[in-house]
Chains A and B, each alone.
Chain A
Amino acid sequence: KAGVTQTPRYLIKTRGQQVTLSCSPISGHRSVSWYQQTPGQGLQFLFEYFSETQRNKGNFPGRFSGRQFSNSRSEMNVSTLELGDSALYLCASSLAVKKGDTQYFGPGTRLTVL
Protein backbone atom coordinates (compact mmCIF):
# COMPACT_ATOMS: atom_id res chain seq x y z
CA LYS A 1 0.00 0.00 0.00
CA ALA A 2 1.15 3.50 -0.71
CA GLY A 3 1.83 5.59 2.35
CA VAL A 4 0.43 8.95 3.35
CA THR A 5 1.36 11.66 0.89
CA GLN A 6 1.44 15.39 1.48
CA THR A 7 1.78 18.23 -0.97
CA PRO A 8 3.57 20.48 -1.32
CA ARG A 9 6.62 19.43 0.66
CA TYR A 10 7.89 22.98 1.08
CA LEU A 11 6.17 26.36 1.07
CA ILE A 12 7.35 29.90 1.58
CA LYS A 13 4.72 32.54 2.23
CA THR A 14 4.62 36.06 3.62
CA ARG A 15 2.67 37.37 6.56
CA GLY A 16 -1.00 37.95 5.85
CA GLN A 17 -1.20 35.44 3.03
CA GLN A 18 -3.17 32.23 3.20
CA VAL A 19 -2.05 28.71 2.43
CA THR A 20 -3.66 25.35 1.62
CA LEU A 21 -1.96 22.06 2.34
CA SER A 22 -3.08 18.71 0.99
CA CYS A 23 -2.98 15.19 2.40
CA SER A 24 -3.84 11.88 0.76
CA PRO A 25 -4.32 9.09 3.30
CA ILE A 26 -3.51 5.42 3.01
CA SER A 27 -6.11 3.66 0.89
CA GLY A 28 -9.04 2.58 3.05
CA HIS A 29 -8.30 4.98 5.88
CA ARG A 30 -11.16 7.33 6.62
CA SER A 31 -9.54 9.30 9.42
CA VAL A 32 -7.08 12.10 8.74
CA SER A 33 -5.48 14.09 11.56
CA TRP A 34 -3.37 17.20 11.24
CA TYR A 35 -0.52 18.23 13.55
CA GLN A 36 1.75 21.24 13.82
CA GLN A 37 5.32 20.46 14.82
CA THR A 38 7.71 23.13 16.03
CA PRO A 39 11.03 22.68 17.85
CA GLY A 40 9.72 24.15 21.07
CA GLN A 41 6.20 22.73 21.14
CA GLY A 42 6.48 19.20 19.84
CA LEU A 43 3.48 17.68 18.07
CA GLN A 44 0.40 19.84 18.52
CA PHE A 45 -2.93 18.37 17.43
CA LEU A 46 -4.93 20.58 15.08
CA PHE A 47 -7.99 18.53 14.12
CA GLU A 48 -9.19 15.18 12.90
CA TYR A 49 -11.61 14.43 10.11
CA PHE A 50 -13.47 11.18 9.76
CA SER A 51 -15.77 10.47 6.82
CA GLU A 52 -15.88 14.16 5.84
CA THR A 53 -16.80 15.34 9.36
CA GLN A 54 -14.56 17.07 11.85
CA ARG A 55 -14.54 14.67 14.78
CA ASN A 56 -11.95 16.20 17.10
CA LYS A 57 -10.35 19.61 17.36
CA GLY A 58 -7.30 20.99 19.16
CA ASN A 59 -6.73 24.42 20.63
CA PHE A 60 -5.83 26.44 17.58
CA PRO A 61 -7.38 29.72 16.43
CA GLY A 62 -10.06 29.82 13.77
CA ARG A 63 -7.46 30.82 11.17
CA PHE A 64 -6.70 27.12 10.96
CA SER A 65 -9.40 25.15 9.20
CA GLY A 66 -9.71 21.95 7.29
CA ARG A 67 -11.96 19.75 5.28
CA GLN A 68 -12.15 16.22 4.01
CA PHE A 69 -13.47 15.02 0.70
CA SER A 70 -15.49 11.93 -0.11
CA ASN A 71 -12.31 10.11 -1.21
CA SER A 72 -10.83 10.81 2.28
CA ARG A 73 -8.28 13.26 0.95
CA SER A 74 -7.97 16.24 3.27
CA GLU A 75 -6.92 19.84 3.01
CA MET A 76 -5.82 22.23 5.70
CA ASN A 77 -6.06 25.98 5.26
CA VAL A 78 -4.35 28.69 7.26
CA SER A 79 -5.52 32.23 6.65
CA THR A 80 -3.79 35.49 7.55
CA LEU A 81 -0.44 33.83 8.13
CA GLU A 82 1.70 34.90 11.06
CA LEU A 83 5.42 34.41 11.59
CA GLY A 84 4.65 31.92 14.36
CA ASP A 85 2.86 29.65 11.90
CA SER A 86 6.23 28.57 10.50
CA ALA A 87 6.34 24.86 11.26
CA LEU A 88 6.27 21.36 9.89
CA TYR A 89 2.66 20.38 9.27
CA LEU A 90 2.05 16.67 9.46
CA CYS A 91 -0.97 14.68 8.55
CA ALA A 92 -1.64 11.16 9.74
CA SER A 93 -4.19 8.66 8.56
CA SER A 94 -5.85 5.83 10.40
CA LEU A 95 -8.72 3.41 10.22
CA ALA A 96 -9.70 4.82 13.65
CA VAL A 97 -12.64 2.49 14.18
CA LYS A 98 -11.39 0.06 16.83
CA LYS A 99 -8.86 -0.40 19.59
CA GLY A 100 -5.32 -0.68 18.35
CA ASP A 101 -5.85 1.25 15.14
CA THR A 102 -2.74 3.35 14.75
CA GLN A 103 -1.82 6.49 12.91
CA TYR A 104 0.59 6.59 10.00
CA PHE A 105 2.26 9.89 9.25
CA GLY A 106 3.12 11.56 5.99
CA PRO A 107 6.45 13.29 5.38
CA GLY A 108 5.04 16.70 6.25
CA THR A 109 4.87 20.10 4.62
CA ARG A 110 7.49 22.59 5.77
CA LEU A 111 5.88 26.03 5.89
CA THR A 112 8.05 29.10 6.26
CA VAL A 113 6.35 32.45 6.84
CA LEU A 114 8.48 35.52 6.12
Chain B
Amino acid sequence: QQQVKQSPQSLIVQKGGISIINCAYENTAFDYFPWYQQFPGKGPALLIAIRPDVSEKKEGRFTISFNKSAKQFSLHIMDSQPGDSATYFCAASNYGQNFVFGPGTRLSVLP
Protein backbone atom coordinates (compact mmCIF):
# COMPACT_ATOMS: atom_id res chain seq x y z
CA GLN B 1 0.00 0.00 0.00
CA GLN B 2 3.03 2.23 0.37
CA GLN B 3 4.13 1.71 -3.22
CA VAL B 4 4.03 4.36 -5.92
CA LYS B 5 4.01 3.00 -9.46
CA GLN B 6 5.51 5.03 -12.29
CA SER B 7 5.51 4.62 -16.05
CA PRO B 8 7.08 4.59 -18.52
CA GLN B 9 10.52 3.51 -17.38
CA SER B 10 12.08 5.48 -20.22
CA LEU B 11 10.76 8.00 -22.71
CA ILE B 12 12.16 9.49 -25.89
CA VAL B 13 10.57 12.67 -27.21
CA GLN B 14 11.42 15.01 -30.03
CA LYS B 15 12.25 18.62 -29.24
CA GLY B 16 9.04 20.60 -29.01
CA GLY B 17 6.94 17.55 -28.18
CA ILE B 18 4.95 16.73 -25.06
CA SER B 19 6.41 14.39 -22.45
CA ILE B 20 3.93 12.57 -20.22
CA ILE B 21 4.85 10.52 -17.16
CA ASN B 22 2.24 8.73 -15.11
CA CYS B 23 2.11 7.64 -11.48
CA ALA B 24 -0.37 5.72 -9.37
CA TYR B 25 -0.67 5.20 -5.64
CA GLU B 26 -2.73 3.10 -3.26
CA ASN B 27 -2.51 4.79 0.12
CA THR B 28 -5.36 7.30 0.40
CA ALA B 29 -3.61 8.91 3.36
CA PHE B 30 -1.09 10.54 1.03
CA ASP B 31 -1.70 14.26 0.98
CA TYR B 32 1.16 15.67 -1.06
CA PHE B 33 2.52 14.66 -4.46
CA PRO B 34 5.81 16.19 -5.62
CA TRP B 35 7.82 15.57 -8.75
CA TYR B 36 11.59 15.63 -8.69
CA GLN B 37 14.05 16.10 -11.55
CA GLN B 38 17.49 14.56 -11.33
CA PHE B 39 20.46 15.15 -13.60
CA PRO B 40 23.39 12.71 -13.62
CA GLY B 41 25.68 13.19 -10.64
CA LYS B 42 23.23 15.52 -8.87
CA GLY B 43 20.65 15.09 -6.15
CA PRO B 44 16.95 15.20 -7.07
CA ALA B 45 15.52 18.70 -7.23
CA LEU B 46 11.91 19.59 -6.53
CA LEU B 47 10.21 20.45 -9.81
CA ILE B 48 6.54 20.91 -9.03
CA ALA B 49 4.08 19.55 -6.47
CA ILE B 50 0.34 19.24 -5.96
CA ARG B 51 -2.09 18.57 -3.13
CA PRO B 52 -5.17 16.36 -3.59
CA ASP B 53 -7.66 19.21 -3.29
CA VAL B 54 -6.48 20.52 -6.67
CA SER B 55 -6.93 18.71 -10.01
CA GLU B 56 -4.24 20.54 -11.94
CA LYS B 57 -1.25 22.74 -11.29
CA LYS B 58 0.84 24.48 -13.90
CA GLU B 59 4.25 26.08 -13.59
CA GLY B 60 5.72 27.24 -16.85
CA ARG B 61 6.02 24.29 -19.21
CA PHE B 62 5.34 21.78 -16.41
CA THR B 63 1.82 20.66 -15.44
CA ILE B 64 0.63 18.12 -12.90
CA SER B 65 -2.75 16.53 -13.48
CA PHE B 66 -4.29 14.83 -10.47
CA ASN B 67 -7.17 12.34 -10.42
CA LYS B 68 -8.09 11.65 -6.82
CA SER B 69 -10.77 9.04 -7.55
CA ALA B 70 -8.41 7.03 -9.75
CA LYS B 71 -5.48 7.63 -7.40
CA GLN B 72 -3.33 8.71 -10.32
CA PHE B 73 -1.30 11.76 -11.16
CA SER B 74 0.83 12.70 -14.11
CA LEU B 75 3.49 15.14 -15.19
CA HIS B 76 3.20 16.86 -18.56
CA ILE B 77 6.19 18.69 -20.01
CA MET B 78 5.09 20.93 -22.85
CA ASP B 79 7.49 22.04 -25.60
CA SER B 80 10.10 19.57 -24.34
CA GLN B 81 13.71 20.72 -24.70
CA PRO B 82 17.00 18.81 -24.77
CA GLY B 83 17.81 20.45 -21.42
CA ASP B 84 14.83 18.59 -19.93
CA SER B 85 16.65 15.29 -20.47
CA ALA B 86 16.89 13.86 -16.97
CA THR B 87 15.36 11.27 -14.68
CA TYR B 88 12.01 12.20 -13.20
CA PHE B 89 10.65 10.78 -9.95
CA CYS B 90 7.13 11.09 -8.67
CA ALA B 91 6.58 10.84 -4.94
CA ALA B 92 3.86 10.84 -2.33
CA SER B 93 3.89 11.74 1.32
CA ASN B 94 1.69 11.98 4.34
CA TYR B 95 1.82 15.07 6.51
CA GLY B 96 5.34 15.89 5.41
CA GLN B 97 6.63 12.44 6.31
CA ASN B 98 7.05 8.98 4.84
CA PHE B 99 8.01 10.05 1.35
CA VAL B 100 7.55 7.18 -1.10
CA PHE B 101 9.18 7.49 -4.51
CA GLY B 102 8.35 5.96 -7.85
CA PRO B 103 11.13 4.05 -9.63
CA GLY B 104 11.87 6.93 -11.99
CA THR B 105 11.50 7.73 -15.69
CA ARG B 106 14.51 8.48 -17.83
CA LEU B 107 13.54 11.18 -20.34
CA SER B 108 15.59 11.86 -23.44
CA VAL B 109 14.62 14.81 -25.60
CA LEU B 110 16.13 14.61 -29.07
CA PRO B 111 17.29 17.86 -30.72
* Chain B window 12-51, contacts with chain A (Cβ cutoff 8 Å), 1 for yes, 0 for no: 0000000000000000000110101000001111100101
Chain B residues with CB under 8 Å of A100's CB are 31-32, 49, 51, 96
Residues of A within 8 A of B (CB-CB), count: 27
Which label, helix, strand, loop or mixed, suits the secondary structure of the B interface? strand
A25 located at the interface, meaning its Cβ lies under 8 Å from any Cβ of chain B in the complex: no
Bits for B76-111, please: 1 = Cβ < 8 Å to A, else 0: 000000000000010001011111111110000000
- For the complex with contacts A106-B43, A108-B42, 6 further pairs of A-B residues with Cβ separation under 8 Å are A4-B43, A42-B89, A92-B43, A94-B96, A98-B96, A100-B32
A interface vs B, CB < 8 Å?
Answer: 4, 31, 33, 35, 42-43, 45, 48, 55-56, 90, 92, 94-108
